[in-house]
Amino acid sequence: MIVDSAIYVDGRRTAEPKTLRETYEAAHEQHGVAWIGLYKPTEEEFASVAEEFGLHELAVEDAIQAHQRPKLERYGDTLFVVLRAARYLDRPETVEFGEVHVFVGADFVVTVRHSEAPNLHGVRGRMERETDLLRRGPEAILYAIMDRVVDDYAPVVAGLENDIDEIETEVFGGNAGVSRRTYELSREVIEFQRAVKPLTGILSGLVGGFEKYGIDPELQRYLRDVQDHAIQVTEQVAGFRDLLQNILSVNLSLVGLQQNEEVKALTEASIEQNDEVKKISSWAAILFAPTLIAGIYGMNFDQMPELHWVFGYPFALVLMLAVSVSLYLIFKRRDWL
């Protein structure tokens, strides 16, 4: 549960308690700032922390359950901040999202993580090296955490930009599976936007609160720098979303054109087949007429006067020829032949 726990006095680490109880005692004895890092604590495990620092039950419930939207809330003298971290995974080319909850009081900072990101060990190391910054109090730790979260967005932006460039190439390359990938990437961009967009408001609220409660003016300048970076990322993500919508529209248009070409080819093939059927039917009709006449005169009934007529045979031949020629001319005029 406890990732790290330490007491800081005048910007320097003075104690490394092994348990939460030792942390509480050291904080009271040394009158320093307690920084406790927790990872996926249970309700029972977090109860002593909440009791020791007087954390509000609603904030405690949010911290334990996780899956919260980014937000900033104040409960008395305690700030409660929820941040959504993100990191880009190169091999699967996907974005992995994390969540960190930060409680900031007059003499303590409690962080609760529910994922590997962000890596707060690096934040702690930075603060312990920059003692002048750490000396400014718990709010400086909050700034460093938010700065790390926003800095971690940069590789995500670069990865998404590269993925979008690849999709653009695939769209005009005729890749049939690009629609699915575009949709999946759009979902990641939307999720990333949900993580980033609230940060500008959170940082504005923090800057205003720092002014109201007389927090170090230098920290206010640091927070404004983080806010500028967050606004930049927000604008980039909004551009990604619009670009993906355009790519999806272009892809649908290209798919429609391809389908139209296929339908056209099928129509031409159908017309060609119809022409062949017309020719076969025409010749079958032409050949059927002489066969019909020959069949009638070949029945050899005694009461058929043409059987004993001198010109019966030539007449039958001429009739066959005349019917065949007439049918040929009719079909030819109708472009069946």
Q: H helices then E strands: how many in the chain?
A: 10, 7
pTM, two decimals, is 0.74
| Residue 25 CB burial class (10 angstroms; 0-12, 13-18, ≥19) | middle
Q: How far is CA 261 from the centre of its chain?
A: 31
Output the pLDDT for position 229.
94
Contacts of 90 (CB under 8 A, 6+ apart): 159
Which of 286, 289, 277, 273 lies closest to 331, judged by CA? 286
Q: How far is CA 99 from the centre of its chain?
A: 19
Which of 115, 105, 101 lies closest to 71, judged by CA? 101
CA distance 253 to 131: 58
What pLDDT, in 10s, does the model give residues 24-59?
888 888 888 999 999 988 888 788 899 989 999 999
Residue ranges and CATH numbers for the domains of the chain are 1-132 (3.30.460.20), 269-333 (1.20.58.340)
Low-confidence ranges of the chain (pLDDT < 50): none
What pLDDT, in 10s, does the model give residues 151-160?
999 999 999 9
